């Protein structure tokens, strides 16, 4: 039960809830996002117009996931404050950095949603969109996805090494990234790859969440010491 007046209980329960909610919202946002098309501005706007409501919902879910990943990261860094500390801090830092770029891209997605709305002259919108696509800052922001994925991989290794949950939990978290990358290289951006990768992430983080929900507040506070005992 969440007790906002008890710091230990609040941090433990909030971390657990975010471990459940963040990957669920992340998966929903990814699976609902419109299919990828050619980078031609006219084709992109036509595609976004076809999936207009779906893109809006996906963007909002992505923003919600980004928010929940912040307490998730700090909670896991607390759990990995002894064993797995290097993986925890590096992975957590990369996740937060990638999270920041994804939030900026969410703002761009909302702009694209407005540009592809019914009644908007998409021909007029194509020119500024083409200019935006040539901006090197956009290419830099897109690399945020890779930074985020590397952070998840390192954090999964940290969870596995620290044994703060069943060993397979950290393996599932790390495998989520490996499956996503390997599947993308071998088969392209397919729904099967996304579903499998997201499922591994949900199961891995969910297992850590269950561990937190079933321990006492005292165990949460002493977790670092217990890991090295």
pLDDT, position 179:
92
**Predicted local confidence at residue 123, as pLDDT:** 81
pLDDT in tens, the chain (229 residues): 556 667 778 888 899 999 999 999 999 999 999 888 777 888 888 888 888 899 999 999 999 999 999 999 998 888 887 676 888 889 999 999 999 998 888 888 898 888 888 888 878 888 888 887 777 887 788 888 899 999 999 999 999 888 878 889 999 999 999 999 888 777 767 788 889 999 999 999 999 999 888 877 677 776 655 444 3
pLDDT of residue 3: 65
Residue 29 is predicted with a pLDDT of 94
Spans of all domains in the chain: 7-228
pLDDT at residue number 84 = 67
In this prediction, residue 1 carries a pLDDT of 55
For the chain, give the secondary structure using H, E and C.
CCCCCCHHHHHHHHHHHHHHHHHHHHHHHHHHCCCCCCCCHHHHHHHHHHCHHHHHHHHHHHHHHHHHHHHHHHHHHHHCCECEHHHHHHHHHHHHHHHHHHHHHHHHHHHHHHHCCCCCCHHHHHHHHHHHHCCHHHHHHHCHHHHHHHHHHHHHHHHHHHCCCCHHHHHHHHHHHHHHHHHHHHHCCCHHHHHHHHHHHHHHHHHHHHHHHCCCHHHHHHHHHHHHC
- pLDDT score for 134: 78
**pTM of model > 0.95:** no
């Amino acid at each position: 039960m969440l007790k906002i007046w008890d710091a230990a209980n609040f941090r433990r329960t909030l971390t657990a809830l975010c471990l459940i909610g963040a990957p669920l919202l992340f998966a929903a946002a990814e699976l609902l996002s419109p299919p990828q098309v050619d980078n031609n501005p006219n084709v992109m706007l036509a595609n976004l117009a076809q999936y207009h409501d779906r893109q809006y919902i996906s963007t909002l879910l992505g923003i919600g996931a980004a928010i929940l990943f912040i307490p998730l990261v700090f909670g896991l860094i607390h759990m990995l404050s002894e064993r797995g500390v290097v993986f925890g801090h590096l992975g957590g830092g990369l996740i937060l950095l990638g999270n920041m770029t994804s939030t900026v891209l969410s703002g761009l997605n909302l702009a694209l949603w407005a540009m592809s709305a019914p009644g908007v002259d998409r021909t007029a919108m194509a020119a500024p969109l083409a200019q935006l696509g040539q901006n090197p800052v956009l290419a830099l922001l897109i690399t945020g996805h890779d930074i985020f994925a590397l952070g998840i991989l390192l954090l999964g290794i940290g969870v596995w090494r620290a044994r703060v949950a069943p060993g397979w939990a950290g393996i599932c978290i790390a495998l989520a990234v490996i499956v996503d990358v390997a599947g993308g290289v071998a088969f392209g951006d397919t729904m099967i790859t996304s579903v499998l990768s997201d499922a591994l992430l949900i199961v891995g983080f969910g297992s850590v969440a269950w561990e937190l929900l079933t321990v006492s507040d005292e165990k949460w506070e002493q977790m670092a010491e217990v890991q090295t005992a």
